[in-house]
Structure 1
C-alpha cells in the first residue's frame, strides 16, 4: 500500500519527493537500478517480497529525516525487525555501488593536480590537495562495551576523519575509531598518516606557486588539532597572531580549510539522522556514516542533484568584491549528534615544518597576495 502512495508522490509531487529523500526522481531511479541486484528478494508462494524501490526509499527517508524505526514501521506497515535489517542491508549496498565512482582517493599525480588546481582556482590556495577535519558521531551506549566508546564530551561515539576537496566532496574517509581514543591518537592510527609517512600516495613533487620560482610541496590543510609537518599545514596559534602577516596566513588557510567544515555541516544538515545520537551499535553506525558520505558525494557531483542538494545559499560563500562572508544556511540546522574534534595545540614541530609555514606566510604576504586580504583580517 505504501509503495503505491510513494509512487504517486514520485510523479505528482516531485518537490516533496526531493525533500523526503534528498534526490530527484531520476537520481532515485538510477540508484534503485544499481542497488537492486544486492537488495532484491525472491517472492514465495506465501507472500511477495518488499520491492527494491521501497527498501531504498525507506532507508533514504530514515537517513534524510532521522525518522525512527518505530515511526517507519507505522508508515510502511513493515515489522521493526525487518526495517532494521533493510536499513543495514541497503546502506551496505549503497556503499558497494557508489564508493568506487564517488568516494575514491586520487591515485595518481594527475588526479592530485586536479584537486590542487581546484583549490587554487576557487580559493587562491595553490598546491593544496585537501582540507582535513574530523567529527565524533554520537551513538547510544553499546552493550557490554564499558568505556571503550566514551569520549571527552561525556557521550559515546565513533569518529569520522576525512579529507575534502574544493567541491565539498570527501576524497578520503576513516570511520569507526572508538570515541575514547584521543584526537591525536585518531590521527596517529589512521591510514592517511601511514601513507604520508611512507610517501605512498603518488602526490606530485614540489612545484612553483604562481608568480614565484621557489618550489612548494603539495600539502593538506587542517586546524590546530593536527600536527604541523611538511605535508600538513595548520594555522599559527592565536597567541602569536598579533603579527599581521601571520593573521593573513591564517585567513588564507581558513578559506581552504572551510571546505571541510562545510562538507561536514552540509552532510549533517541534509542527513538528519545525525541530529541526535544514532541508535545503532558502532559497526552499523559506521556503515550508516559511510553510506551518507557516498550519497553526499554523489549528490555533490551530479549537476542536477548538486543544485537541489546544496543551493548556493546553503553553503558558506565569500564575496571578495563586496568584502562579505555569507554564512550558509546549513549552520541553522542543529546537528547535535556530531561533535568537533578537540583542538589540542601545543605540539612541538620540526624546524622544516615551521620554516615551510613561514615560507607560505611570506608568499601570501608577497607575490601570492590577494587584493582583499588586508580588509578581511581587519573587519
Structure 2
C-alpha cells in the first residue's frame, strides 16, 4: 500500500474510533429517550455502572498505542446486549477489531456480574426474608404462602462442530438452560445457568443448588395458617414440567371438567406468570436473547448472568422499567384431568388439595368463577 493511502486510511480509522460512545453522547443531548433505547440505560445509570466496573476493565495506555477507554468498552457491550448484533456489524460502527470485540464483551459481562451480584442477585437467607416475598405474592397475586415462581428458558447459541449434539434440545436448536426463581415484582431471586439444552426443567432443578435450598427447612418459614383451618407450608409455584413436592406446587394434569381443579390451576397460573413476564421483559430489554448467539458456551453464560443482574439493577433504579418493556407472554389456564387422589404423591398431593379447597372456599375470588363460567 502506498504511504499516502496508508495515512489516509489511518486517519479515517482514528476519526471513527470512538463512534459508539460519541453517537450515544449526541443522543443524550438531542433525545434522552433515544440514548436509553440505544444502550438500554439512561445517562446517570450508565455513569453509575461505569464507576462500579471501571477498575476491572480499564487498561493503561502505552507509548506504542492508546488503550480503549472503559466507557467505550461498556458502551460496546451494552449495545451488543441491546441488539445482539454480529461482531462484524459492531466493528463497522466502532472501528474496533472483531478480535478485540470478541475479548471485550465477555470481560465486561464478567465484570458487571461480579460487581452487581452481591447487591442485586441474592437468594433470601432466612425465614423473615422469605416471608416478605410471600406477603408480596399474597397481596399482588392472591396466592398465600408463595416463595416465588419457578421456570426454565432455553438460551440459543451456535455450537462448534466438535460439540456435536451435546447441547441439542427438543426444539431442534442448540441451547443452555436458564433456571430462574422470580419474586412477585419480576425480580430474579435465583438463577442457574449452563445446563445443556437436552435436559428438562425437572432435571435441571435436581442438580441445582435451589433443590437444597427448598429442602432446608431451617431457612424457610414454618408452616402457617391459610384460611380458617388449614396449616400449609410455604411453596414455590411452577408448571407441570416440575415434580410435585412439599415446597413445589404444580398444576393438575390437563383436560378436566372438575371446576375446583380448574380454579386451582387458574390461581396458580396467575401467580406463576410473573416468571414468564420476567423472561419476556429480559428478552425485550436485551434482544441478544432473541438471536442465536455465535459465541462460545462460556461466553453465553457470562452474557446471561450479566443481563440478569442488569435487569434487577434497572428494576430497582427505574420504577417504569417493567412498563417500558412489557413482555408478549400471555397467561393461559392449564385445565387438568379429573382423577382420584394419588397416594404415591403423599403429603405433596394433600397440600395441593388443601390449596384447592382454600381457593374454592374462604379464599375464592368472584372474577375467577365468572371467567370459568
Q: Does 1:372 align with 2:370?
A: no
Give secondary structure in 1 for the equivalent of 2:348: helix
Matches within 5 A, 1:38-77: 38-77=56-95
Task: Specify which of 211, 231, 238 is matched with residue 247 of structure 2.
Answer: 231
Answering whether residue 106 of structure 2 is matched by residue 88 of structure 1, we say yes
Tell me if the contact between 2:230 and 2:354 (Cα under 8 Å) persists in the aligned partners. no
Runs of 5+ unmatched residues, structure 2: 1-17, 331-338
Matched, 1:217 2:233: yes
Whole-Å separation in 2 of the counterparts to 1:22 and 1:174: 24
2 CA distance for matches of 1:360 and 1:183? Answer: 24
Query: CA 1:348–1:90 in structure 2 vs 1: closer, same or farther (change >3 Å)?
Result: farther
Q: Report the secondary structure of 2:151's partner residue.
A: strand
1:365, 1:66 → 2: CA distance?
46
Task: Give the match for residue 223 of structure 2.
Answer: 206
Q: Secondary structure at the match of 1:144?
A: helix
Runs of at least 4 residues off by over 6 Å: none
Say if 2:39 and 2:82, in contact at 8 Å, map to a contact too: yes
SS of residue paired to 1:45? coil
Matches within 5 A, 1:295-374: 295-302=310-317, 305-307=318-320, 309-311=321-323, 314-315=325-326, 328=327, 330-331=328-329, 350-374=345-369
Pick the aligned partner of 1:133 from 151, 154, 174.
151
How far apart are residue 146 of structure 1 and its match? Answer: 2.1
CA drift of 1:7 comes to 2.2
**In the alignment, which residue of structure 2 is the partner of 1:285?**
300
Counting matched residue pairs gives 345
| Residues 359 and 295 of structure 1, relative CA distance in 2, 3 Å threshold | same
Structure 1 position 181 matched with structure 2 position 176: no
**Once the 2 structures are TM-superposed, how far is the Cα of residue 176 of structure 1 from its aligned partner?**
0.3
8 Å CA contact 1:142–1:282 kept in 2: the answer is no
Structure with max Cα Rg: 2
Deviation at 1:50, TM superposition (A): 1.1
**Which residue number corresponds to residue 325 of structure 1?**
none
Alpha-carbon distance between aligned partners in 2 of 1:156 and 1:351, rounded to the nearest angstrom: 37
What is the match of residue 339 of structure 1? none
| Matches of 2:107 and 2:44, distance apart in 1 | 22
Alignment TM-score, normalising by the size of structure 1:
0.87
Is this contact kept in 1: 2:106–2:299, CA < 8 A? yes
Match of residue 252 from structure 1: 267
**8 Å Cα contact 2:237/2:271 also seen in 1:** yes
Which of 152, 160, 184 aligns to 1:142? It is: 160
Rate the CA distance shift 1:216–1:331 in 2: closer, same or farther, 3 A: closer
TM-fit CA distance, 1:180? 2.1
**Secondary structure in structure 2 of the residue aligned to 1:372:** helix
Normalising by structure 2, we get a TM-score of 0.88
Give secondary structure in 2 for the equivalent of 1:238: coil
Please give the per-residue CA displacement for 1:334-367, whole angstroms capped at 9, x wherever unaligned. xxxxxxxxxxxx9995221111100000000111
CA RMSD of aligned residues (A): 1.9
Residue aligning to 1:318: none
Unaligned runs of 5+ in 1: 316-327, 333-345
Alignment partners' CA distance in 2, 1:135 and 1:121: 27
Alpha-carbon distance in 1 for matches of 2:270, 2:65: 56
The SS at the match of 2:103 is helix
Q: Could you tell me how far 1:331 is from its partner in structure 2? A: 4.4
Which residue in 1 is equivalent to 2:130?
112
C-alpha deviation, 1:274, in angstroms:
1.2
Secondary structure of 2:178's partner? strand
Residue 9 of structure 2 is matched in structure 1 by none
Give the Cα–Cα distance (whole angstroms) in 1 for the partners of residues 297 and 369 of structure 2. Answer: 46
> Contact 1:228 / 1:349 at 8 angstroms: preserved in 2?
no
